[in-house]
């Protein structure tokens, strides 16, 4: 119970700039829920659950909630949206990027501190680069799926996306292992 109280105190005493960063995560979760609606996926339970989990990311950006939200969102999209490709996938991916980046930024700065402008600029530049890469992959998936037409590439875009995700996670794990090794100092 003490941990919940600590999250509440951190949220209540956070600086205005820190609160704005956290609210970007909530906005991202709302946009993702709207993308699910536009793609014809899920139902009220999934949509409301997505927004509630986004609110929990606001309350606990440094804990497990951002990862839990991202797993929930990907699973909800995968299970609920028919077909391997939909136009709403691009804004959905951007919204997940916003949730992740804002949670990471909120976790990297103490809640009572003002978020430095240089850090905001650095995060914005990185988010822009990743958003451009996401747009490129989205466009390639659209071509592979035949623009969303029935009988396109079938599961190929999903398999390619999962393979890219697995490769990125493996690369991240190896990079992290290299930087945390005792002899890396």
Q: Coil, helix or strand for 154?
A: coil
Least confident range of 69-73, 145-149, 164-168: 145-149
The residue among 97, 86, 75, 95 whose CA lies nearest residue 40 is 86
Give 113-123 pLDDT, tens digit per residue. Answer: 899 999 999 99
pLDDT at residue number 150: 47
Tell me how many helices (H) and strands (E) the chain has: 7, 0
Specify which of 2-11, 21-30, 74-83 reaches the highest per-range mean pLDDT: 21-30
pLDDT at residue number 151: 47
pLDDT at 163 over 70: yes
Give 108-159 pLDDT, tens digit per residue. Answer: 988 888 999 999 999 999 999 999 988 988 887 777 777 554 445 566 666 7
Pair 15, 113: CB distance under 8 Å: yes
Give the largest Cα separation in the chain, rounded. 54
Tokens of 69: 């939200």
Mean of the per-residue pLDDT values of the chain:
84
DSSP codes of every residue in 52-96? HHHHHHHH-TTSSHHHHHHHHHHHHHHHHS-SS--TTHHHHHHHH
Specify which of 58-72, 76-90, 157-171 reaches the highest per-range mean pLDDT: 58-72
Specify which of 10-19, 48-57, 174-183 reaches the highest per-range mean pLDDT: 48-57
User: For residue 151, is it left (φ>0), alpha (ψ between -120 and 50) or beta?
Assistant: left
């Amino acid at each position: 119970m003490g941990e919940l109280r600590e999250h509440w105190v951190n949220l209540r005493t956070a600086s205005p700039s820190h609160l704005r960063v956290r609210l970007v995560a909530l906005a991202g979760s709302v946009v993702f829920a709207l993308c699910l609606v536009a793609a014809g996926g899920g139902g009220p339970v999934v949509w409301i659950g997505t927004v509630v989990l986004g609110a929990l990311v606001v309350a606990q950006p440094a804990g497990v909630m951002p990862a839990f939200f991202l797993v929930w969102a990907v699973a909800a999209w995968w299970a609920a949206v028919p077909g391997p490709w939909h136009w709403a996938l691009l804004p959905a991916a951007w919204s997940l990027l916003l949730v992740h980046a804002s949670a990471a930024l909120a976790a990297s700065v103490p809640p009572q501190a003002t978020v430095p402008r240089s850090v905001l600029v650095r995060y914005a530049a990185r988010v822009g680069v990743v958003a451009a890469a996401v747009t490129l992959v989205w466009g390639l998936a659209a071509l592979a799926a035949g623009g969303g037409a029935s009988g396109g590439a079938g599961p190929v875009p999903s398999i390619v996306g999962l393979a890219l995700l697995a490769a990125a996670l493996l690369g991240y794990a190896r990079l992290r292992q290299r930087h945390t090794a005792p002899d890396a100092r």
